[in-house]
Each structure stands twice: as structure tokens, then as C-alpha cells.
Amino acid sequence: MGQIVQDGEAVLRPVEKLNLTRLIRTFTLRTSEGFLENFGPQLIACVGAEAPGVRLRFLPKPMQDNAPLRDGTVDLETGVVVSTTGPELRAQALFRDRFVGVVRADHPLSRAKMTSARYAGARHVLVSRHNRDTGLIDPLLEKLNLDRTIATIVTGFSSALFLARNSDLVATVPERHTGVLRVGMHTFPLPFAVPEITVSLLWHPRMEADPAHRWLRGLVLEICSVQSADSIKRGGGSLT
């Protein structure tokens, strides 16, 4: 019961006045692959400008397991809220993302109109963190009486895009999470309907009223919102 009491006291504790210039603290963030590459540099720069004594530690997120938030080893986490996400956790939507196809710049698929049949007829690299042989795309292709050849399986978007950049393989990845990683490659909208995903920021309720934690949550939300608006303004990666 001790931990429950501590968590309750933390939630009810009055908000303290925060002096960012004097704040000395390390925050641990567990993020999905691609988040660090796309949002990390600006987040680190903003933290350094506002609170030079704050250090950010980024950890990978190999599985959908919220235990690190519960035991306090992780302060914030980004990801998609799923059925296994702890119901007690707080969540704030950051942005929506859509899946796109990616090939090397001079790939044959980059030179003509994309169709479902052309997409399915190529060789693919599948991203799977759970050792599965198919992904969310495959049931959608089945409805169109199509299937694809999965030539190799990797555990992350960076690896998938590296292979696609240096071969004839097609990678299917979330657009906003991989913006930096896709530079110099040919990206195309998938020629069939694929559900969008909502990427959220998650934390444990005991940190709800912590002023420094609230400041960092607001900073992450602001950076993601600004980059989303810039993306739409440029006409590239519009989340429609």
C-alpha cells in the first residue's frame, strides 16, 4: 500500500512554483523509433534554452509494456494507445500519422503511377517488433485479392529504410516518424485505404501535478504541434 499512498500524495500535492533556470533534473523518455530523430534535436535545444540544468535520457521502446512508467524508471513515453495500455495512465494526443511507401530514388516504382497491384508485386521489407511474418498491410491487401512478397523482416524503421535505400525493397513506414530518415528517397501515398494512427504522450498519474514534469509535457506537445503545422504548410506530409 505504500506506493499507492505515495502516488496519491503526489497527485494531490500543491503545485510548486517552478524556476527553470535553477532546475537540476534528468528526465527519462521512452520513445518509438523515429521520434528521437525527428523531434529530439528541437526538444533538446528548447530544454537547453529554458532549463540548462535539465538533461534528457532517451530509451528505446522495444515492446508495448508500460511497467517502466509504473515503477518510475521512465518519466514519459510516446506511442499508440492500445488495448494493453494501462487504464490508469494519463495520455495526451500529440499528432496523427499515416503509413507511406518508400523506395530508393531511382527505383522502378518511382517512375509511374502507383497502383495496388504494382505495390503488391514488389518485394518488401517488413517491420515487426513481435516476430510476426505479416503486418497491418497484409489483411488490407487480402481484401483486394492481392498479397505481397516479404523478402526480409527487421525490428525497426531505420533498418527498413536502410535496406530500401540500398536495394529494390519497398519499406512501408509512418510518415511523420521517419521524415528525417527518408531524405533523398522516393515516398508515395499507399494506393489503398490504411487507417491512420494517433501518437500520444503517456505518463503515470503520480507525475500529474509535478511542475517540472508538466513543463516538459507541454514542451513536447508544443514541438510536435509546431512541426505538424509546418509540415502541412509546406504541403509535404499533410495528415489528411
For the stretch 186-203, pLDDT in tens is: 999 999 999 999 999 999
Has residue 6 got a pLDDT over 50? no
Confidence at 10, pLDDT banded by 50, 70, 90: very low
Query: What's the pLDDT score for residue 33?
Result: 76
Q: Taking the CA of residue 153 as centre, how many other CA atoms within 13 Å lie in the half-sphere pointing to its CB?
A: 9
- Within the chain, residue ranges assigned H as helices are 2-12, 35-50, 67-71, 116-121, 137-142, 157-165, 211-234
Beta partners for residue 102, in sequence order: 171, 187
pLDDT digit string, tens, across residues 154-190? 988 999 999 999 999 999 999 998 999 999 999 999 9
Compute how many other C-beta atoms are within 10 angstroms of the C-beta atom of residue 101. Answer: 21
- What is the average pLDDT across 199-216? 95
Q: Quote the longest CA-to-CA distance of the chain.
A: 63
> Per-residue pLDDT for 56 more than 90?
yes
The pLDDT value recorded for residue 227 is: 64
Residues 142-165: what's their mean pLDDT?
A: 95
- Does an H or E element contain 188, and which? strand 186-189
Residues 66-115: pLDDT tens digits?
A: 889 999 999 999 988 876 677 788 999 999 999 999 999 999 999 989 99
pLDDT top residue among 238 and 135: 135
**Of 224, 235, 190, nearest to 43 (Cα)?**
224
Q: What is the pLDDT of residue 67?
A: 86
* pLDDT for the residue 51: 97
How confident is the model at residue 236, as a pLDDT?
39
**161 or 9: which carries more pLDDT confidence?**
161
**For the chain, which domains are there?**
2-95+197-234 (3.40.190.10), 99-189 (3.40.190.10)
Say if residue 217's pLDDT is above 90: yes
- What does the alpha-carbon distance between residue 38 and residue 21 come to, in Å, rounded to a whole number? 26
Reported pTM:
0.81
pLDDT of residue 234: 39
